[in-house]
Every structure is written in C-alpha cells, then in structure tokens.
Amino acid sequence: MTSTKRALKTEDLTRLEVYSDPQISPDGNFYSYVSTTANDNDDYNSHLFVQSIQGESPVQWTFGDVKNSNLRYSPDGKRAVFQSTRSGLSQLWMLPTEGGEARQLTTFKNGASSPTWSKDGKYIFFHASLDKDDDLHNQKEQSKEERQKEQEAKKKQPLIVNSLKYKSDSSGFHDNKRVQLIVLDVENNTFTQLTRDNADHSFQDISPDGKQLLFAANLNADADYELSNDLFLLDLQSKEHKKLTDGKGGYHSASFSPSGDKIVSFGHGFEYAGATLTEIYVFDLETGERTCLSQTWDIQLGDLMIGDTRLGQSEAGPVWAKDEKSLFFIATDQGSTGLYEVSLDKELTTLYEKDNHVFGFSYDQNKEAFVLGISSATNPCDFYYLEKDGTLTQLTKSNRAFLEEVAIAEPETISVKADDGKEIQGWLLKPYGFTEGKKYPFVLEIHGGPHAMYGQTFFFEMQLLAARGYVVLYTNPRGSHGYGQEFVDACRSDYGGGDYTDLMTAVDYVLDNYTYIDEDRLGVTGGSYGGFMTNWIVGHTNRFKAAVTQRSISNWLSFYGVSDIGFFFTKWEHGLNLLDDPEKLWEISPLKYAENVETPLLILHGELDFRCPVEQGEQLFIALKHLRKEVEFVRFPGANHELSRSGKPAMRQERLNHICRWFEQYL
C-alpha cells in the first residue's frame, strides 16, 4: 500500500486546530465555537469564531495570544458574554454581536468564569473564587507583577493541611477560597453574591421566571469525607435554599424545563462506586416526584471517549426539547458516541450515531435542529448541521491543509471473545507505507480510567506510532465504558485478573489472524490505569520486547496516601483501604513483581502529577535499577496528569519522541 501523502510527524501536533463548544444564536441563523491552537510561546490560544448555518466561511471574533471561551448569547442575540484571559486572568467580557470592541465586565482578584444569562437578558450569573470575607465591591484584578510577588511570598510560607481533599491534580494545593455564585445586574453594573457556604458551588441554571437558581454542591457537614454532589434550589428573594436530592449520589448537568415546572439532571447513586452508569432524572417541582428515564437502559450517558486532541468543553446534555416532551443528550456506546432523544414516557430514539465521536452539540428550538461537533479516527474535528428530518450537512473543514498533506491510518474494528465469553472490541492500525508480505513490529495501547473508552475518535499518539512503522492495537477490556453496567464493573476487585487476560487474548487474536505482525517485536504502553497495566504485564510475562509506562501506578500501598483520589479510589476499585488489608494491596501492586521484569521499561511521569504522583514511577525505577534491569526514568517538569492531553505543547512532543525512541531502540 503506497500513499502520495507523507507520514505524520511529532511536530504536526502543534498544527492541529481543535474545535469545541458550539452555540447556536437565538435566531438560529448562526453559531459560534471555540478554536484552540498551539502558539509560539509554548502555550495555547483559544479564539471565538462565528459561522452562518448556511455554511459560509467562519469569521474570527477574537485575536491575540490569549484564551477566549464560554461565549453565551444574550436572549435577544444582540450581545454575547464570554470569558477571556486578555487582561491576565480569566475575566468576563461583553461583545456586541453586530460588531464593535469587547468590554470588560469583571476585575475579580481570582478571575471569573462560566457566564450564563437570565432568560430576560437583564442579569449574568457566573462563578468566582472568593475568600470567606471578600467584599465584591473591592474586587480588583492584580497585575502580572503583583500576582508573581504574591506567589513568591506564598512559596516561603508553610502549607497547613487540615482536610483530606487538600490538593487536586488540576488545581494543585488548595487554599481557603471557595467557588461562589455571583450575579451581575447588566444595566446597573452591580454585583451580588448569591452563595456563601464553605463549599464549591456549581451553577446549573436559572428558572424561566428568574426567581430560582439551581446549583450543585456538597453542603454536608462531612463533605470532606464524601464524594456526593447534591442539587439545590435557591430562592433569589429570600436567599433560602432547598435540597432536591438525598445526599447519597452525584448530580450534575441540571436544567429547568422551558415552563419551569420540571428539572432534568444527570446523576447516579454510586451503586457501583466509580463504575456506576450515569442515569437521567426528571424532578417534578410541584409534586416533588423524581423519575428515572433510563432505568431499563444499559448505556453510559455523556461522553466518555478518551483521546489526546480534545481541548475545551462542549455540551453533552441533557437538553430540553422546545415542547418539553423529550430531552437530548450524548451517550457512549460500543466505541462511539452519538446524539439521542428520550421522551418523558421513556422512549429512546437515536438521532445520530455513526462510527465516530460526537463531542458536543447545540440545539435550536425554533428549527428543532442541531449543530454537532464530530471527530472520527481520521479527522480531529468538524461541525455539522443536523436537521429535523435527519439530513446532515458539513459546516466546517478544519485542518484541511493538514489532512490533505498527511497520511492518516483508517482503523479496522475487531471483536475478540474473552476466556469467559465476553466480547472485547478493539481497533487495529496498519503502519504507514504498508506492504503485503512484510512483517512489522507491534504496539499494544492500554487506556486509563479504567472506566473510560477507546473508540472512533482522532488519537494523535496512535497515528504517530502507525506513521513510524508499527501495527497498533487498542482495545476496551472489561472495566471500560460503552458495553453496559456488568462489563464496566467487571474489573473492580480484579485488577490484573480478567482485564489482563482480555488484553493478552486480544494480542493472541491479532497474532493468529494478521500475518504481517512480527511476534518477536511486540511493544506495550499505557497511561494511568493503562500505566498500571503496563507495569503489571511486564511483571507477569516476557512476551513484550519493550514497554513504556506513563503516569502509572506501581504501589497501591503508597498510592492510598499520596494520590489526590487515593483515600477513596482504593476502596472503590479494590474494595478495601490501606489499613483494611495491606497484604492484599501489595499482592496487586506491580512493584512486588519487579524481580520478574525482563522487558526494557521506559517510565514517563510528570513532576506535578497529583493523581498518580511521581513517586509511583520513582519507586518502580529505583527497584528495577537496583535489580540491574533495563530501565529509564523521564520526569517532565511542571507537568501534571494531563500531560498527554493538555500539557505544554513542547512537553507533549517530548513525551511522544521518548515513546518513539524507546520502541525504535528495542523493536
């Protein structure tokens, strides 16, 4: 197989344009979106674009080395509020949609985000991080120099810790600030703080009559020990709030019906801990009754697709239909995500589902149509217009020059029967320049989570390995989403058991059925849970000639106490905490089997990874090096657990180069 296009290169990563957050204008004639690209300062720019539904060329609304996002149209469509870092921190800005300069709305010391209009267009609700005694009337954004000075001073002070949840991978060490809900009176330019509890609040929606605000938070006294997230109704006149949920589950993505008498929400009660399928609930505000619309389904609601080129947030639902008789949402199923509709009578309808990744949508109530964001295995992203009759029209042609120049491998879907009869779905990529009769080295990719899903989306790392001459296999072993509740729960309390044999069975299957794979040149890699599994594999078989473990777990005993999720994750996934049965946690720790490792192992880890802290990689490196094994440790400064997905562009490329270097050396 020959190609007139060139092979993919590592530096192509910085050429990609990534779309997100489609928003249809109130009149339905236009939609806006966010485009994110790498810039020359080893960072990203995010800019706002608008395009006619008729498909005319998109028009760029914002410019410069800044991040702009979360554009929301006013109800009359004449103005748009968005968040931007153009002043230094993320603040809210207003833009006239018919042309003109943006005007800054907030100057909060810690920034402002997530704006939403009231239904009458008189108010804007948003998030702000505040200290307990902060005065909204004295909020002033610091200069870059002032922020640096404050940060330097903070580094010289000891960190006093009093809670379990004192750090997180995305935010680092926490302080005493809490996310509060603020409302801006647009006409009078005045701010009012709506919440004051010692908790982080997440705005969900404002009622159509503007009298009640819907938010999510954990306001329980034992919130530090819990993972629940409740829904609350806040009366904007009395400032009293009422809890809608029972304190035993996690609820999010909630909104009022157009008439305001019902609320819809995603959520679940942690029946299977972190492996619980999300449900869709409707709350009747008059009767207080809660109805689960999805109780007979066996699919995961929302977008659980894993990729390494998705930047920015997008709507996954649920969204009310204009007539309030049904709801729209994205669901994750069988390696794809699609757009679905459910009636209040619980009738499920597929509106759009192909072999690809619907990563976001916007609903036009007037025309009962949608703008869909879609990625496929061979196209990073584009927007499409889905009409009521099912007609699909492409609106954008992102990355056109890139796709015309670079060869992208089309995956072959495979299905493998596991030892116990479970069907394991996977995908196989042929190498660039594939020639019949030739033998090629092979790499097995293992996803993180473990409760997530590989599938029909663009994955740069897979494509790069194929471009470098490898056959690439990626699968969804038990524990993955997309195949029902029993399947996603099947790896809990069995790490290194059925999930391991699923992967090995898949490898055996492709070796038996694809003669172009060289069984003497097998490699394996994965990150997070996939890193754990890579570590487990090399401690239990020598069939792989090279391995790369990324942001991995090697020791469940220490993971319990150092990870930002360790104190509950070991219980969720293994059924026990450190003090319950340390011997059992040691039995399933890859570090225990270091003496068995004969596979050359490259360990990649971010220095600021709080999810799977760098000491996990360090322990494994020291043990293997002390045993005189073939091992190398690469530590990425300033990088957290999201290095491969949203890390600095230069570090992301460095990581890919090290993976390729290791496999080229040993395969």
Mean pLDDT of 210-232: 95
- CA geometry: angle 51, 54, 56, nearest 5 deg: 50
Mean pLDDT of 187-207: 96
pLDDT number for residue 138: 87
Cα–Cα distances in Å, from 601 out to 171, 327, 574, 620?
30, 49, 26, 10
Cα–Cα distances in Å, from 199 out to 125, 179, 524, 579?
18, 7, 42, 29
Mean pLDDT of 198-207: 97
Q: DSSP of 551-606, one letter per residue?
A: S----HHHHHHHSSSHHHHHHHHHS--TTT-HHHHHHT-GGGGGGG--S-EEEEEE
Mean pLDDT of 64-84: 97
**Statement: residue 2 has pLDDT above 70:** no
Name the β-bridge partners of 631: 601
CATH architecture of 411-666: 3-Layer(aba) Sandwich (3.40)
pLDDT number for residue 155: 87
Cis peptide before 450 (omega within 30 of 0): yes
Confidence band for 143, pLDDT divided at 50, 70 and 90: confident
Domain ranges of the chain: 411-666
pLDDT number for residue 146: 87
Cα–Cα distance for residue pair 114/111, rounded to 1 Å: 11
pTM: 0.97
Name the β-bridge partners of 69: 83
pLDDT number for residue 207: 97
DSSP-derived letter for residue 236 is T
Mean pLDDT of 607-613: 97
Contacts of 308 (CB under 8 A, 6+ apart): 459, 460, 461, 644, 645
Confidence band for 344, pLDDT divided at 50, 70 and 90: very high
Mean pLDDT of 316-325: 96
Cα–Cα distance for residue pair 20/28, rounded to 1 Å: 18
Q: Please compute, for residue 68, the number of CA atoms within 13 A of its CA located in the half-sphere on the CB side.
A: 24
One-letter-per-residue 3-state SS of 40-58? CCCCEEEEEEEEECCCCCC
List pLDDT tens digits, range 265-277. 999 999 999 999 9
One-letter-per-residue 3-state SS of 181-203? EEEEECCCCEEEECCCCCCCCEE
Confidence band for 170, pLDDT divided at 50, 70 and 90: confident
**Statement: residue 446 has pLDDT above 80:** yes
Nearest residue to 473 via CA among 490, 459, 489: 459
**Statement: residue 651 has pLDDT above 90:** yes
Please say whether the beta carbons of 616 and 558 come within 8 A. Answer: yes
What residues act catalytically? Answer: 528, 641
Handedness of CA 244, 250, 252, 254 (dihedral sign): negative
More confident residue, 544 or 2: 544
pLDDT number for residue 596: 98
List pLDDT tens digits, range 125-136. 999 999 998 999
Please say whether the beta carbons of 418 and 20 come within 8 A. Answer: no
**Statement: residue 1 has pLDDT above 60:** no
CA dihedral 657, 658, 662, 663 (to 10 degrees): -40
Cα–Cα distance for residue pair 3/9, rounded to 1 Å: 15
Specify the range with the lowest mean pLDDT, choosing from 101-110, 140-149, 172-181, 544-553: 140-149
Backbone angles phi, psi at 174, to 5 degrees: -80, 160
Nearest residue to 330 via CA among 362, 295, 369: 362
Average pLDDT of the chain?
96
**Statement: residue 429 has pLDDT above 80:** yes
Cα–Cα distance for residue pair 598/548, rounded to 1 Å: 13
Contacts of 432 (CB under 8 A, 6+ apart): 3, 7, 8, 407, 409, 466, 467, 468, 469
**Statement: residue 3 has pLDDT above 80:** no
The length of the chain in residues reads 667
Cβ atoms within 10 A of the Cβ of 587, count?
12
**b/e 215-239 (16+ beta carbons within 10 angstroms → b):** bbbbeeeebeebebbbbbbbebeee
pLDDT number for residue 236: 96
Cα–Cα distance for residue pair 198/130, rounded to 1 Å: 10
pLDDT number for residue 238: 93
pLDDT number for residue 55: 81
Side by side, the strands of the sheet bearing 440-446 are 412-417, 423-429, 471-476, 440-446, 517-527, 546-550, 601-606, 631-636
First to last CA, the chain: 22
Mean pLDDT of 408-435: 97
pLDDT number for residue 457: 98
More confident residue, 132 or 630: 630
Mean pLDDT of 632-658: 97
Nearest residue to 97 via CA among 45, 25, 160: 25
Cα–Cα distance for residue pair 431/412, rounded to 1 Å: 12
